[in-house]
């Protein structure tokens, strides 16, 4: 009866659901540094001259 886990007393102890321990660690809030966005330089497209035929 004991090994089954269904029985009263000893076996019953075993049947207990595992309680998931949730550990909440409070971290100090870090201030986010704002990243400066680099402006992308636009490449000038060279216009192809059409050859007159």
Q: At 14, is the pLDDT very low, low, confident or very high (cuts 50, 70, 90)?
A: low
Tens digit of each residue's pLDDT (9 = 90 or more) over 32-45: 777 777 777 777 77
d(CA 27, CA 33): 17
- The tokens of 42 are what? 């636009």
pTM of the predicted protein model: 0.12
d(CA 35, CA 37): 6
């Amino acid at each position: 009866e004991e090994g089954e886990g269904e029985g009263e007393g000893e076996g019953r102890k075993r049947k207990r659901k595992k309680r998931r321990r949730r550990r909440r660690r409070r971290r100090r809030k870090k201030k986010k540094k704002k990243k400066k966005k680099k402006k992308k330089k636009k490449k000038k497209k060279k216009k192809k001259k059409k050859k007159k035929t």
